[in-house]
Amino acid sequence: MRLIDTHVHINFDAFQPDLDDVARRWRDAGVVRLVHSCVEPAEFAGIQAIADRFPELFFAVGLHPLDVADRWQEGTPAEILRLAKSDVRVVAIGETGLDFYKAVNQEQQKVAFESQLALARQLGLPVIIHCRDAAAPMADLLRRFWQQQGTVQGVMHCWSGTPEETEWFLELGFYISFSGIVTFKNATQVQESAKIVPGDRLLIETDCPFLAPVPKRGEKRNEPSYVQYVAQHVARLRNVSPEELAEQTTQNACRLFKLPIPLVTTLSPISASWSHC
């Protein structure tokens, strides 16, 4: 089984003591690629250093909506642009978006988000979108942006929206990524959403170190190998085999982020070749 964890934060302190063990477990679980998110450009060098250790890691650069109040400055878009162009392993802009839970800077968040959408469009990269308590304003902003500046590809990450909200973002062309939240007993709306996403728009992630999925929910730290539990749960919801779900989401992640994947063909089982999917 090949899995891709499309959203990790393994640069956080929680992983520093034993990252080699964590990596061994994700490899044992079949995780062949990871997409590292970025909450602020200052993380970039540290993420690059982790990707130097683990070649299956690709990454994004951007500014998280909750960091906009402290970190968004006039030079920030130029900095994100410079970093994105500096490394071929950059596969997305983000994470960016809107987080209106307790937010007092909604307008500032919109400015920072639109700016990063424009960067993604300029670079031809997808965006990784964080959206909390802001589905309607997010959909409005995106529709207006599409009309005025053109479309951008992307993913609604760690998705927790209702089926109706899910439809809005599917119509906008987005992929929908489910995290450990979809495994929680009380997350019925999210589970309904996971049933309606077309097979070619579905992604899975851990968002580790946060939100460990059932059956690991009691653990303080989530980790990439646990994406297997998200895959199993979403597969059950959709009445497909875990293997089919894994392969489908792996293909989708490769398509959206233009990731190279090891292509194992049945014709030549001994040699694995590299290919873009």
Q: Which of 255, 257, 276, 273 is nearest to 265 (CA)?
A: 273
Return the number of the residue (37 or 177) whose C-beta is nearest Ni ion.
37
Q: Compute the CA torsion angle 152, 92, 184, 65 (nearest 10 deg).
A: -80
Query: Closest separation between CB of residue 130 and Ni ion, Å?
Result: 6
Q: Which residue in the shown chain puts its C-beta closest to Ni ion?
A: 37
6 touches Ni ion by CB under 5 A: no
The region of 30-38, 178-186, 187-195, 215-223 touching Ni ion under the rule CB under 5 A is: 30-38
Compare residues 37 and 222 and give the one whose CB is closer to Ni ion.
37
Which of these segments, 28-36, 37-45, 46-54, 236-244, binds Ni ion (CB under 5 A)? Answer: 37-45
What minimum distance in Å lies between the beta carbon of 202 and Ni ion?
18
Among 6, 11, 37, 191, binds Ni ion (CB under 5 A): 37
Sign of CA dihedral 152, 118, 124, 39: negative
Which listed range, 15-23, 36-44, 70-78, 256-264, lies at the site for Ni ion (CB under 5 A)?
36-44
Pull the structure tokens for residue 189.
């709306």
- Residue 206 interacts with Ni ion (CB under 5 A): yes or no: no
Q: How many residues does the chain have?
A: 277
Cβ of residue 72: shortest distance to Ni ion, in angstroms?
A: 17
Burial group, residue 273, by CB count within 10 angstroms (0-12, 13-18, 19+): exposed
CB of 272 to Ni ion, least distance (A): 31
Name the token pair of 32. 């062949």
Least distance from Ni ion to the Cβ atom of residue 38, Å = 9
- Measured from the CB atom, the residue of 4 and 235 that comes closer to Ni ion is 4
Question: What's the closest the beta carbon of residue 158 comes to Ni ion, in angstroms?
Answer: 7
Q: How far is the CB of 273 from Ni ion (least distance, A)?
A: 32
Q: Which is nearer to Ni ion, 43 or 165 (CB)?
A: 43
Task: Report, in Å, the least distance between residue 206 CB and Ni ion.
Answer: 10
Nearer to Ni ion among residue 37 and residue 228 (C-beta): 37
* Beta-carbon contacts of residue 166 (< 8 Å; ≥ 6 apart): 159, 176, 193, 196, 197
Give the residues lining the site for Ni ion (CB under 5 A): 37
